[in-house]
Chains A and B, each alone.
Chain A
Amino acid sequence: MNILGIDTSCDDTSVAILKYCQISRKFHIKANIISSQVKAHGEYGGIVPEIASREHLKNIKTVFEMALEKAQVAESDIDLVAVTAGPGLLGSLIVGYSFAKGFTISKKIPLITVDHIKAHTAANFLSPFDINFPAIALTISGGHSSLSVLNSPIDAKFIGGTIDDAVGELFDKIARYLKFPYPGGPYIDKMSRAGSEKYKLPRPLINEPNYNFSFSGLKTAVINFTQKNPGYDVSDLAHSMTAAICSVFTKKIRNAADEYKARTIILSGGVASNSMIREAVTSLGEKLKVFVMIPEPVLCTDNGVMIAISGGLNYLYSPDKNLKNTDVYPTTRW
Protein backbone atom coordinates (compact mmCIF):
# COMPACT_ATOMS: atom_id res chain seq x y z
CA MET A 1 0.00 0.00 0.00
CA ASN A 2 1.40 3.41 -0.99
CA ILE A 3 0.50 6.25 1.37
CA LEU A 4 0.75 9.94 0.51
CA GLY A 5 1.41 12.13 3.56
CA ILE A 6 0.93 15.91 3.41
CA ASP A 7 1.80 18.45 6.09
CA THR A 8 1.28 22.20 5.73
CA SER A 9 0.54 22.98 9.36
CA CYS A 10 3.13 25.69 9.80
CA ASP A 11 5.92 26.94 7.57
CA ASP A 12 7.18 23.83 5.76
CA THR A 13 5.40 22.36 2.75
CA SER A 14 6.01 18.64 3.19
CA VAL A 15 4.94 15.75 1.02
CA ALA A 16 6.04 12.15 1.53
CA ILE A 17 5.25 8.84 -0.10
CA LEU A 18 5.60 5.70 1.99
CA LYS A 19 5.12 2.06 1.23
CA TYR A 20 3.55 -0.12 3.90
CA CYS A 21 4.61 -3.74 3.69
CA GLN A 22 1.82 -6.05 4.87
CA ILE A 23 4.27 -8.88 5.56
CA SER A 24 6.91 -7.07 7.62
CA ARG A 25 4.27 -4.60 8.89
CA LYS A 26 6.78 -1.80 8.43
CA PHE A 27 6.74 1.53 6.64
CA HIS A 28 9.40 2.40 4.07
CA ILE A 29 10.11 5.92 2.90
CA LYS A 30 10.02 6.25 -0.89
CA ALA A 31 10.12 10.05 -0.92
CA ASN A 32 10.25 12.80 1.67
CA ILE A 33 10.26 16.31 0.18
CA ILE A 34 10.26 19.37 2.42
CA SER A 35 10.14 22.90 1.07
CA SER A 36 11.28 25.30 3.77
CA GLN A 37 9.98 28.87 4.07
CA VAL A 38 12.76 30.11 6.33
CA LYS A 39 13.83 32.73 3.76
CA ALA A 40 10.30 34.09 3.33
CA HIS A 41 9.86 34.65 7.06
CA GLY A 42 13.44 35.55 7.95
CA GLU A 43 13.00 39.29 7.61
CA TYR A 44 10.10 39.29 10.07
CA GLY A 45 11.95 37.30 12.74
CA GLY A 46 9.09 34.82 12.95
CA ILE A 47 6.36 33.14 10.97
CA VAL A 48 3.76 35.40 9.33
CA PRO A 49 0.65 33.20 8.90
CA GLU A 50 -0.64 34.78 5.67
CA ILE A 51 2.78 34.58 4.03
CA ALA A 52 3.06 30.95 5.15
CA SER A 53 -0.25 30.00 3.55
CA ARG A 54 0.56 31.81 0.30
CA GLU A 55 3.91 30.03 0.12
CA HIS A 56 2.18 26.69 0.67
CA LEU A 57 -0.17 27.39 -2.23
CA LYS A 58 2.77 28.38 -4.41
CA ASN A 59 4.73 25.23 -3.57
CA ILE A 60 2.34 22.38 -2.94
CA LYS A 61 1.90 21.13 -6.50
CA THR A 62 5.62 21.24 -7.24
CA VAL A 63 6.51 19.50 -3.99
CA PHE A 64 3.94 16.77 -4.76
CA GLU A 65 5.38 16.29 -8.26
CA MET A 66 8.90 16.09 -6.85
CA ALA A 67 7.74 13.43 -4.38
CA LEU A 68 6.20 11.34 -7.18
CA GLU A 69 9.40 11.58 -9.19
CA LYS A 70 11.62 10.72 -6.25
CA ALA A 71 9.41 7.77 -5.27
CA GLN A 72 9.22 6.60 -8.90
CA VAL A 73 5.47 6.12 -8.65
CA ALA A 74 2.52 7.53 -10.57
CA GLU A 75 -0.41 9.25 -8.92
CA SER A 76 -2.47 6.18 -9.80
CA ASP A 77 -0.25 4.10 -7.48
CA ILE A 78 -1.33 6.06 -4.38
CA ASP A 79 -3.80 4.06 -2.26
CA LEU A 80 -4.36 6.30 0.75
CA VAL A 81 -3.87 9.98 1.57
CA ALA A 82 -3.13 11.33 5.04
CA VAL A 83 -3.10 15.05 5.76
CA THR A 84 -2.62 17.23 8.82
CA ALA A 85 -5.91 18.83 9.86
CA GLY A 86 -4.61 20.42 13.06
CA PRO A 87 -3.34 21.84 15.22
CA GLY A 88 -1.60 24.52 13.21
CA LEU A 89 -2.07 27.78 11.35
CA LEU A 90 -5.54 27.69 9.83
CA GLY A 91 -4.67 29.31 6.49
CA SER A 92 -1.76 26.92 6.06
CA LEU A 93 -3.74 23.83 7.05
CA ILE A 94 -6.44 24.73 4.53
CA VAL A 95 -4.01 24.51 1.62
CA GLY A 96 -2.78 21.00 2.44
CA TYR A 97 -6.23 19.77 3.39
CA SER A 98 -7.89 21.10 0.25
CA PHE A 99 -5.15 19.70 -1.97
CA ALA A 100 -5.52 16.29 -0.30
CA LYS A 101 -9.30 16.44 -0.51
CA GLY A 102 -9.18 17.35 -4.20
CA PHE A 103 -6.73 14.51 -4.84
CA THR A 104 -8.93 11.94 -3.10
CA ILE A 105 -12.14 13.18 -4.77
CA SER A 106 -10.39 12.83 -8.10
CA LYS A 107 -9.03 9.35 -7.41
CA LYS A 108 -11.84 8.03 -5.19
CA ILE A 109 -9.46 6.82 -2.47
CA PRO A 110 -9.71 7.27 1.33
CA LEU A 111 -8.51 10.41 3.07
CA ILE A 112 -7.39 10.28 6.70
CA THR A 113 -7.03 13.51 8.65
CA VAL A 114 -4.24 13.48 11.19
CA ASP A 115 -3.43 15.16 14.50
CA HIS A 116 -0.06 16.79 13.94
CA ILE A 117 1.15 16.28 17.53
CA LYS A 118 0.34 12.58 17.59
CA ALA A 119 1.98 12.27 14.19
CA HIS A 120 5.31 13.51 15.58
CA THR A 121 5.31 10.45 17.83
CA ALA A 122 4.42 8.23 14.88
CA ALA A 123 7.75 9.04 13.19
CA ASN A 124 9.24 6.45 15.57
CA PHE A 125 7.31 3.67 13.83
CA LEU A 126 9.93 3.85 11.10
CA SER A 127 12.41 2.30 13.49
CA PRO A 128 13.46 -1.27 12.72
CA PHE A 129 12.64 -2.03 16.36
CA ASP A 130 9.10 -2.55 17.56
CA ILE A 131 7.74 -0.16 20.14
CA ASN A 132 6.96 -1.93 23.38
CA PHE A 133 3.89 -0.57 25.08
CA PRO A 134 3.14 1.24 27.30
CA ALA A 135 5.37 4.03 26.08
CA ILE A 136 5.90 7.55 27.41
CA ALA A 137 5.99 10.07 24.56
CA LEU A 138 7.35 13.59 24.92
CA THR A 139 6.52 15.78 21.92
CA ILE A 140 8.33 19.11 21.87
CA SER A 141 8.10 21.70 19.13
CA GLY A 142 7.59 25.39 18.45
CA GLY A 143 3.93 25.14 19.34
CA HIS A 144 3.71 22.22 21.73
CA SER A 145 5.28 20.50 24.73
CA SER A 146 3.20 17.52 25.64
CA LEU A 147 3.61 14.27 27.49
CA SER A 148 1.44 11.26 26.60
CA VAL A 149 1.13 7.58 27.38
CA LEU A 150 0.80 5.26 24.41
CA ASN A 151 -0.90 1.92 24.95
CA SER A 152 -1.04 0.96 21.27
CA PRO A 153 -0.04 2.58 17.95
CA ILE A 154 -3.28 4.54 17.91
CA ASP A 155 -4.15 4.83 21.59
CA ALA A 156 -2.46 7.90 23.09
CA LYS A 157 -3.52 9.45 26.38
CA PHE A 158 -2.43 13.02 27.08
CA ILE A 159 -1.12 13.34 30.65
CA GLY A 160 0.39 16.81 30.67
CA GLY A 161 1.63 19.74 28.65
CA THR A 162 2.78 23.31 28.81
CA ILE A 163 0.57 25.78 30.58
CA ASP A 164 2.10 28.75 28.75
CA ASP A 165 4.93 28.87 26.18
CA ALA A 166 6.00 25.76 24.31
CA VAL A 167 9.68 24.92 24.63
CA GLY A 168 10.35 25.77 20.97
CA GLU A 169 8.68 29.12 21.53
CA LEU A 170 11.08 29.75 24.41
CA PHE A 171 14.05 28.97 22.16
CA ASP A 172 12.70 31.23 19.39
CA LYS A 173 11.93 34.14 21.70
CA ILE A 174 15.25 33.99 23.50
CA ALA A 175 17.08 33.68 20.18
CA ARG A 176 15.27 36.77 18.90
CA TYR A 177 16.02 38.64 22.13
CA LEU A 178 19.71 37.72 21.90
CA LYS A 179 19.65 38.74 18.20
CA PHE A 180 20.58 35.28 16.98
CA PRO A 181 19.79 34.44 13.35
CA TYR A 182 16.38 32.96 12.51
CA PRO A 183 15.50 30.15 13.15
CA GLY A 184 17.01 30.44 16.62
CA GLY A 185 16.68 26.87 17.95
CA PRO A 186 19.52 25.32 15.95
CA TYR A 187 21.73 28.32 16.72
CA ILE A 188 21.12 28.01 20.48
CA ASP A 189 21.95 24.32 20.20
CA LYS A 190 25.23 25.14 18.48
CA MET A 191 26.11 27.78 21.10
CA SER A 192 25.23 25.53 24.01
CA ARG A 193 27.68 22.87 22.77
CA ALA A 194 30.49 25.35 23.35
CA GLY A 195 29.36 26.36 26.85
CA SER A 196 28.92 24.91 30.30
CA GLU A 197 26.32 25.16 33.03
CA LYS A 198 27.84 28.24 34.61
CA TYR A 199 24.61 30.01 35.51
CA LYS A 200 21.86 28.72 37.74
CA LEU A 201 18.45 29.17 36.14
CA PRO A 202 15.06 28.11 37.54
CA ARG A 203 13.48 24.76 36.67
CA PRO A 204 9.77 25.62 36.62
CA LEU A 205 7.24 23.10 37.98
CA ILE A 206 9.97 20.47 38.38
CA ASN A 207 8.69 19.31 41.75
CA GLU A 208 4.97 19.70 41.05
CA PRO A 209 3.04 16.42 41.31
CA ASN A 210 1.78 16.59 37.72
CA TYR A 211 3.09 16.37 34.17
CA ASN A 212 2.70 20.00 33.20
CA PHE A 213 5.43 22.32 32.02
CA SER A 214 5.88 26.10 32.14
CA PHE A 215 8.54 27.90 30.14
CA SER A 216 7.35 31.47 30.30
CA GLY A 217 9.03 32.03 33.69
CA LEU A 218 12.30 30.58 32.43
CA LYS A 219 12.18 33.01 29.50
CA THR A 220 11.73 35.93 31.91
CA ALA A 221 14.52 34.60 34.13
CA VAL A 222 16.92 34.48 31.17
CA ILE A 223 16.04 38.04 30.12
CA ASN A 224 16.39 39.35 33.67
CA PHE A 225 19.71 37.55 34.00
CA THR A 226 21.12 39.19 30.87
CA GLN A 227 20.01 42.62 32.06
CA LYS A 228 21.61 42.18 35.50
CA ASN A 229 24.79 40.53 34.16
CA PRO A 230 25.79 42.39 31.00
CA GLY A 231 29.10 40.55 30.77
CA TYR A 232 27.51 37.13 30.48
CA ASP A 233 28.89 34.47 28.16
CA VAL A 234 26.39 33.60 25.43
CA SER A 235 27.47 29.97 25.12
CA ASP A 236 27.28 29.41 28.86
CA LEU A 237 23.87 31.04 28.97
CA ALA A 238 22.59 28.86 26.10
CA HIS A 239 23.97 25.78 27.82
CA SER A 240 22.52 26.73 31.23
CA MET A 241 19.09 27.41 29.75
CA THR A 242 19.03 24.10 27.84
CA ALA A 243 20.26 22.28 30.95
CA ALA A 244 17.35 23.71 32.95
CA ILE A 245 14.93 22.48 30.27
CA CYS A 246 16.58 19.04 30.23
CA SER A 247 16.23 18.74 34.01
CA VAL A 248 12.49 19.43 33.85
CA PHE A 249 11.93 17.02 30.98
CA THR A 250 13.93 14.16 32.47
CA LYS A 251 12.26 14.54 35.87
CA LYS A 252 8.76 14.45 34.39
CA ILE A 253 9.57 11.56 32.06
CA ARG A 254 11.08 9.60 34.94
CA ASN A 255 7.95 10.15 37.06
CA ALA A 256 5.68 9.15 34.18
CA ALA A 257 7.79 6.10 33.35
CA ASP A 258 7.51 4.95 36.98
CA GLU A 259 3.79 5.60 37.23
CA TYR A 260 2.82 3.99 33.94
CA LYS A 261 5.46 1.25 33.99
CA ALA A 262 6.80 2.40 30.66
CA ARG A 263 8.73 -0.02 28.48
CA THR A 264 9.71 2.62 25.95
CA ILE A 265 10.43 6.35 26.04
CA ILE A 266 9.72 8.25 22.85
CA LEU A 267 11.02 11.73 22.08
CA SER A 268 9.72 13.61 19.05
CA GLY A 269 8.96 17.03 17.57
CA GLY A 270 11.17 19.72 16.09
CA VAL A 271 12.91 20.50 19.39
CA ALA A 272 13.89 16.81 19.67
CA SER A 273 16.63 17.79 17.19
CA ASN A 274 18.33 19.63 20.08
CA SER A 275 21.42 17.60 20.85
CA MET A 276 21.49 18.28 24.62
CA ILE A 277 17.87 17.19 25.02
CA ARG A 278 18.50 14.05 22.93
CA GLU A 279 21.50 13.16 25.10
CA ALA A 280 19.65 13.83 28.36
CA VAL A 281 16.70 11.61 27.41
CA THR A 282 18.96 8.86 26.07
CA SER A 283 20.97 8.91 29.27
CA LEU A 284 17.78 8.75 31.36
CA GLY A 285 16.68 5.67 29.40
CA GLU A 286 19.97 3.98 30.12
CA LYS A 287 19.60 4.72 33.83
CA LEU A 288 16.02 3.43 33.91
CA LYS A 289 16.84 0.52 31.58
CA VAL A 290 14.00 1.62 29.33
CA PHE A 291 14.41 1.63 25.55
CA VAL A 292 14.56 5.17 24.12
CA MET A 293 13.42 6.00 20.59
CA ILE A 294 14.20 9.32 18.93
CA PRO A 295 13.77 9.87 15.19
CA GLU A 296 16.71 11.16 13.19
CA PRO A 297 16.73 15.00 13.16
CA VAL A 298 15.20 15.31 9.65
CA LEU A 299 12.15 13.39 10.89
CA CYS A 300 11.89 15.47 14.07
CA THR A 301 10.93 18.64 12.23
CA ASP A 302 7.59 18.86 10.41
CA ASN A 303 7.46 16.33 7.59
CA GLY A 304 5.04 14.34 5.48
CA VAL A 305 6.52 11.00 6.57
CA MET A 306 5.11 11.18 10.08
CA ILE A 307 1.72 12.21 8.69
CA ALA A 308 1.69 9.25 6.30
CA ILE A 309 2.63 6.87 9.14
CA SER A 310 0.03 8.29 11.52
CA GLY A 311 -2.67 8.15 8.84
CA GLY A 312 -1.57 4.67 7.84
CA LEU A 313 -1.71 3.42 11.44
CA ASN A 314 -5.13 4.94 11.94
CA TYR A 315 -6.36 3.30 8.77
CA LEU A 316 -4.84 -0.08 9.53
CA TYR A 317 -5.61 -0.38 13.24
CA SER A 318 -8.99 1.29 13.65
CA PRO A 319 -11.92 -1.11 13.42
CA ASP A 320 -13.85 1.45 11.36
CA LYS A 321 -10.69 2.36 9.43
CA ASN A 322 -10.98 5.68 11.23
CA LEU A 323 -12.81 7.09 8.27
CA LYS A 324 -14.88 9.17 10.65
CA ASN A 325 -11.76 11.30 10.86
CA THR A 326 -12.31 12.46 7.31
CA ASP A 327 -14.93 14.77 8.73
CA VAL A 328 -12.34 16.73 10.70
CA TYR A 329 -11.91 20.08 9.03
CA PRO A 330 -8.74 22.13 9.45
CA THR A 331 -8.59 23.42 12.98
CA THR A 332 -6.13 25.48 14.99
CA ARG A 333 -6.68 23.08 17.89
CA TRP A 334 -7.34 19.36 17.66
Chain B
Amino acid sequence: MQVSDKKIVFNTVFEKLSVTIIDGRKLEYHSEYYEKKRNAFNIDKMIEGALAACGVEFSDISKIYVFCGPGSFTGIKLGLSMVYGLLCGSGERCVPNGLSLLDYLLFCGLQKKCDRKRLTAVIPGVRGEYFAKTMEPVKDDMAASFKNISDEFVVLSEKMALDTADDRYVADPLSKAFFTDEKLPSSIREGALTVKVEAEGILKFIDFCEETDNSRFLPLSPIYLKDTYAIKPKTETC
Protein backbone atom coordinates (compact mmCIF):
# COMPACT_ATOMS: atom_id res chain seq x y z
CA MET B 1 0.00 0.00 0.00
CA GLN B 2 1.32 3.41 -0.96
CA VAL B 3 1.64 5.80 1.99
CA SER B 4 0.42 9.31 1.28
CA ASP B 5 2.97 12.08 1.64
CA LYS B 6 0.57 14.97 1.22
CA LYS B 7 0.96 17.81 3.67
CA ILE B 8 -1.22 20.80 4.42
CA VAL B 9 0.22 24.04 5.78
CA PHE B 10 -1.88 26.93 6.96
CA ASN B 11 -1.28 30.32 8.37
CA THR B 12 -3.91 32.36 10.21
CA VAL B 13 -1.71 34.35 12.55
CA PHE B 14 -0.82 37.48 10.65
CA GLU B 15 -2.79 39.56 8.15
CA LYS B 16 -2.88 37.32 5.09
CA LEU B 17 -4.32 33.82 5.38
CA SER B 18 -2.70 31.09 3.40
CA VAL B 19 -3.26 27.41 2.72
CA THR B 20 -0.65 25.29 0.99
CA ILE B 21 -0.73 21.65 -0.05
CA ILE B 22 2.56 19.90 -0.66
CA ASP B 23 2.93 16.46 -2.21
CA GLY B 24 6.23 14.98 -1.09
CA ARG B 25 8.57 17.90 -1.79
CA LYS B 26 6.49 19.32 -4.60
CA LEU B 27 4.10 22.25 -4.32
CA GLU B 28 0.63 21.15 -5.32
CA TYR B 29 -1.56 24.11 -4.32
CA HIS B 30 -1.28 27.48 -2.62
CA SER B 31 -3.88 30.14 -1.97
CA GLU B 32 -3.84 33.40 -0.06
CA TYR B 33 -6.60 35.63 1.24
CA TYR B 34 -6.61 39.07 2.75
CA GLU B 35 -9.48 41.10 4.11
CA LYS B 36 -9.35 43.95 6.58
CA LYS B 37 -11.93 42.59 9.02
CA ARG B 38 -12.78 39.05 10.11
CA ASN B 39 -10.05 37.81 7.88
CA ALA B 40 -9.35 34.56 9.68
CA PHE B 41 -12.97 33.41 9.42
CA ASN B 42 -12.36 32.28 5.87
CA ILE B 43 -9.78 29.64 6.67
CA ASP B 44 -12.31 26.77 6.70
CA LYS B 45 -13.50 27.64 3.20
CA MET B 46 -9.89 27.95 2.06
CA ILE B 47 -9.04 24.50 3.42
CA GLU B 48 -12.10 22.97 1.76
CA GLY B 49 -11.22 24.79 -1.47
CA ALA B 50 -7.63 23.57 -1.34
CA LEU B 51 -8.67 19.94 -0.84
CA ALA B 52 -11.21 20.20 -3.65
CA ALA B 53 -8.72 21.85 -6.01
CA CYS B 54 -6.25 19.01 -5.46
CA GLY B 55 -8.99 16.40 -5.76
CA VAL B 56 -8.18 14.96 -2.36
CA GLU B 57 -9.97 14.46 0.93
CA PHE B 58 -8.60 15.19 4.32
CA SER B 59 -8.02 11.47 4.84
CA ASP B 60 -5.34 11.71 2.10
CA ILE B 61 -3.33 14.21 4.15
CA SER B 62 -0.57 12.74 6.29
CA LYS B 63 0.87 15.84 7.97
CA ILE B 64 -0.48 19.21 9.12
CA TYR B 65 1.69 22.25 9.70
CA VAL B 66 0.22 25.31 11.36
CA PHE B 67 1.70 28.64 12.39
CA CYS B 68 1.12 28.94 16.16
CA GLY B 69 2.09 32.63 16.43
CA PRO B 70 3.09 35.16 17.36
CA GLY B 71 0.55 37.52 15.85
CA SER B 72 -3.19 38.01 16.02
CA PHE B 73 -4.59 36.36 19.16
CA THR B 74 -7.81 35.54 17.30
CA GLY B 75 -5.91 34.10 14.34
CA ILE B 76 -3.76 31.93 16.62
CA LYS B 77 -6.79 30.51 18.41
CA LEU B 78 -8.71 29.98 15.22
CA GLY B 79 -5.87 28.15 13.48
CA LEU B 80 -5.07 25.91 16.41
CA SER B 81 -8.66 25.01 17.21
CA MET B 82 -9.16 24.15 13.52
CA VAL B 83 -6.14 21.84 13.69
CA TYR B 84 -7.41 20.24 16.89
CA GLY B 85 -10.74 19.56 15.14
CA LEU B 86 -9.04 18.15 12.04
CA LEU B 87 -6.89 15.88 14.18
CA CYS B 88 -9.74 14.66 16.36
CA GLY B 89 -11.85 13.97 13.27
CA SER B 90 -9.06 11.97 11.70
CA GLY B 91 -8.57 9.83 14.77
CA GLU B 92 -5.15 11.45 15.32
CA ARG B 93 -3.91 9.74 12.14
CA CYS B 94 -2.27 12.93 10.88
CA VAL B 95 1.05 14.12 12.24
CA PRO B 96 0.72 17.73 13.45
CA ASN B 97 3.55 20.24 13.70
CA GLY B 98 3.53 23.80 14.97
CA LEU B 99 5.64 26.52 13.37
CA SER B 100 6.78 29.95 14.51
CA LEU B 101 6.13 32.79 12.09
CA LEU B 102 9.28 34.51 13.35
CA ASP B 103 11.37 31.43 12.44
CA TYR B 104 9.86 31.57 8.96
CA LEU B 105 10.70 35.27 8.58
CA LEU B 106 14.28 34.66 9.73
CA PHE B 107 14.67 31.70 7.38
CA CYS B 108 13.45 33.60 4.33
CA GLY B 109 15.23 36.81 5.35
CA LEU B 110 18.55 35.03 5.67
CA GLN B 111 18.15 33.59 2.19
CA LYS B 112 17.75 37.10 0.85
CA LYS B 113 20.64 38.85 2.58
CA CYS B 114 23.24 38.14 5.26
CA ASP B 115 25.18 41.37 5.60
CA ARG B 116 24.84 42.30 9.27
CA LYS B 117 25.90 40.82 12.56
CA ARG B 118 22.32 40.28 13.56
CA LEU B 119 19.04 39.64 11.84
CA THR B 120 15.84 40.56 13.72
CA ALA B 121 12.39 39.38 12.64
CA VAL B 122 9.46 41.49 13.82
CA ILE B 123 5.69 41.19 13.82
CA PRO B 124 3.78 44.24 15.10
CA GLY B 125 1.28 43.81 17.93
CA VAL B 126 -1.77 46.04 18.25
CA ARG B 127 -0.59 48.39 21.02
CA GLY B 128 2.69 49.64 19.58
CA GLU B 129 4.74 46.65 20.70
CA TYR B 130 6.58 44.13 18.51
CA PHE B 131 6.96 40.39 18.73
CA ALA B 132 10.55 39.71 17.78
CA LYS B 133 13.31 37.13 17.52
CA THR B 134 16.97 37.65 16.67
CA MET B 135 19.54 35.51 14.91
CA GLU B 136 23.30 35.83 14.54
CA PRO B 137 23.82 34.37 11.07
CA VAL B 138 26.65 32.03 10.13
CA LYS B 139 27.60 32.61 6.48
CA ASP B 140 26.21 30.01 4.08
CA ASP B 141 25.07 27.78 6.92
CA MET B 142 21.37 27.96 7.68
CA ALA B 143 21.44 25.18 10.27
CA ALA B 144 24.29 26.82 12.20
CA SER B 145 22.52 30.18 11.98
CA PHE B 146 19.43 28.67 13.57
CA LYS B 147 21.58 27.54 16.48
CA ASN B 148 22.30 31.22 17.16
CA ILE B 149 18.78 32.44 17.74
CA SER B 150 17.08 34.04 20.71
CA ASP B 151 13.73 33.14 22.19
CA GLU B 152 10.73 35.14 21.02
CA PHE B 153 10.32 38.38 22.97
CA VAL B 154 8.16 41.50 23.12
CA VAL B 155 9.82 44.86 22.59
CA LEU B 156 8.76 48.50 22.21
CA SER B 157 9.95 50.83 19.45
CA GLU B 158 12.07 52.97 21.77
CA LYS B 159 14.05 49.97 22.96
CA MET B 160 14.41 48.62 19.44
CA ALA B 161 15.80 51.97 18.27
CA LEU B 162 18.34 51.98 21.11
CA ASP B 163 19.46 48.37 21.23
CA THR B 164 19.12 46.98 17.75
CA ALA B 165 19.59 49.88 15.34
CA ASP B 166 22.46 48.05 13.64
CA ASP B 167 20.44 44.90 12.99
CA ARG B 168 19.00 43.97 9.64
CA TYR B 169 15.23 43.69 10.14
CA VAL B 170 12.85 41.25 8.49
CA ALA B 171 9.12 41.91 8.35
CA ASP B 172 6.08 40.96 6.35
CA PRO B 173 5.28 43.75 3.83
CA LEU B 174 1.80 44.00 5.39
CA SER B 175 3.38 45.10 8.72
CA LYS B 176 2.21 48.68 8.23
CA ALA B 177 2.71 49.55 11.89
CA PHE B 178 6.42 48.73 11.52
CA PHE B 179 7.06 50.51 8.25
CA THR B 180 5.31 53.68 9.43
CA ASP B 181 6.60 53.68 13.02
CA GLU B 182 8.20 57.09 13.44
CA LYS B 183 9.78 56.12 16.73
CA LEU B 184 12.11 53.86 14.76
CA PRO B 185 15.03 55.36 12.80
CA SER B 186 14.30 55.42 9.08
CA SER B 187 17.43 53.30 8.50
CA ILE B 188 15.75 50.40 10.32
CA ARG B 189 12.51 50.70 8.39
CA GLU B 190 13.94 51.44 4.99
CA GLY B 191 16.68 48.84 5.21
CA ALA B 192 14.30 46.11 6.33
CA LEU B 193 13.92 42.97 4.25
CA THR B 194 10.35 42.12 3.33
CA VAL B 195 9.25 38.51 3.46
CA LYS B 196 5.81 37.29 2.46
CA VAL B 197 4.21 34.06 3.58
CA GLU B 198 4.17 32.58 0.10
CA ALA B 199 4.31 29.22 -1.61
CA GLU B 200 8.02 29.05 -2.40
CA GLY B 201 9.08 30.22 1.05
CA ILE B 202 6.80 27.74 2.79
CA LEU B 203 8.01 24.89 0.63
CA LYS B 204 11.67 25.66 1.38
CA PHE B 205 11.05 26.26 5.08
CA ILE B 206 9.15 22.99 5.58
CA ASP B 207 11.86 21.19 3.64
CA PHE B 208 14.57 22.74 5.83
CA CYS B 209 12.69 21.83 9.02
CA GLU B 210 12.10 18.25 7.89
CA GLU B 211 15.50 17.55 6.41
CA THR B 212 17.89 19.64 8.45
CA ASP B 213 16.49 21.08 11.67
CA ASN B 214 13.35 19.48 12.99
CA SER B 215 13.77 21.30 16.28
CA ARG B 216 11.94 24.13 14.42
CA PHE B 217 8.78 22.03 14.75
CA LEU B 218 6.85 23.10 17.82
CA PRO B 219 4.13 21.50 19.90
CA LEU B 220 0.60 22.63 19.03
CA SER B 221 0.53 25.37 21.66
CA PRO B 222 -0.29 29.01 21.09
CA ILE B 223 2.56 31.53 21.03
CA TYR B 224 0.82 34.59 22.47
CA LEU B 225 3.88 36.21 24.15
CA LYS B 226 1.52 38.65 25.82
CA ASP B 227 -1.39 38.58 28.24
CA THR B 228 -4.74 39.89 27.18
CA TYR B 229 -4.94 43.60 26.47
CA ALA B 230 -8.37 43.83 28.02
CA ILE B 231 -8.11 42.85 31.68
CA LYS B 232 -9.86 45.50 33.71
CA PRO B 233 -9.20 45.95 37.41
CA LYS B 234 -11.79 44.51 39.72
CA THR B 235 -14.27 47.22 40.66
CA GLU B 236 -16.64 47.42 43.55
CA THR B 237 -19.37 49.39 41.88
CA CYS B 238 -21.97 48.27 39.41
A residues near B (Cβ < 8 Å) are: 43-45, 48-51, 53-54, 56-57, 60-61, 64-65, 74-76, 90-91, 94-96, 98-108, 173-174, 176-177, 179, 219, 223, 329-330
Contact = CB atoms under 8 A, between A and B. Distances in A.
Contacts, number: 123
B33 to A, nearest CB: 14
A310 to B, nearest CB: 20
B211 to A, nearest CB: 28
B238 A176 contact: yes
Contact of B86 (A49, A51, A106, A174): A106
Contacts of A176: 236, 238
Interface of B: 38, 40-41, 43-44, 47-48, 51, 57-59, 73-74, 77-91, 222, 224, 228-232, 234-238
A45 B237 CA distance: 11
A94 B237 CA distance: 31
Nearest to A74: B91
Nearest to B237: A177
A173 B237 CA distance: 8
A43 B77 contact: no
B84 A61 contact: yes
Nearest to B48: A105
A95 B231 contact: no
B236 A53 contact: no
A60 B81 contact: yes
30 contacts: A44-B231, A45-B235, A48-B228, A48-B231, A51-B231, A53-B77, A56-B77, A56-B81, A57-B77, A57-B80, A61-B87, A64-B88, A65-B88, A75-B88, A91-B73, A94-B41, A94-B81, A96-B81, A99-B82, A102-B89, A103-B85, A104-B85, A104-B89, A105-B51, A106-B58, A106-B59, A176-B238, A177-B237, A179-B236, A330-B41
B57 A108 contact: yes
Contact of B85 (A91, A106, A219): A106
A4 to B, nearest CB: 10
Contact of B82 (A45, A54, A98, A179): A98
A35 B47 CA distance: 29
A98 B89 contact: no
Contacts of B88: 61, 64-65, 75, 99, 102-103, 106
A103 B89 contact: yes
A94 B38 contact: no
Contact of A76 (B47, B58, B91, B224): B91
A105 B44 contact: yes
Contact of A173 (B79, B224, B238): B238
B84 A102 contact: yes
B225 to A, nearest CB: 13
B4 to A, nearest CB: 14
State the 9 A-B residue pairs at the shortest beta-carbon distance, nearest first. A102-B85, A106-B89, A50-B228, A98-B81, A99-B85, A103-B89, A102-B86, A103-B85, A102-B82
B170 to A, nearest CB: 28
Contact of A75 (B59, B89, B229): B89
Given A54-B224, A75-B91, A94 B86 contact: no
B106 to A, nearest CB: 26
Contacts of A329: 38, 41
A81 to B, nearest CB: 9
Contacts of B232: 44, 48
Contacts of A54: 77, 222, 224, 228
B236 A98 contact: no
B230 A105 contact: no
A105 B82 CA distance: 10
Contacts of A104: 85, 89
Given A101-B82, A173-B238, A94 B77 contact: yes
A260 B40 CA distance: 44
Given A75-B89, A106-B58, 19 more contacts: A44-B231, A50-B73, A54-B77, A54-B224, A75-B88, A91-B77, A94-B78, A94-B81, A98-B78, A101-B44, A102-B83, A102-B89, A105-B51, A105-B89, A106-B89, A108-B58, A179-B236, A329-B38, A330-B41
A330 B79 CA distance: 15
A54 B80 CA distance: 11
A223 B236 CA distance: 12
B229 A50 contact: yes
A249 to B, nearest CB: 22
Contacts of B83: 102
Nearest to B43: A98
Contacts of A49: 228, 230
A60 B80 CA distance: 11
B68 to A, nearest CB: 11
A280 B43 CA distance: 48
A174 B236 CA distance: 10
A60 B82 CA distance: 11
Nearest to A111: B44
Contacts of A101: 44, 82, 85
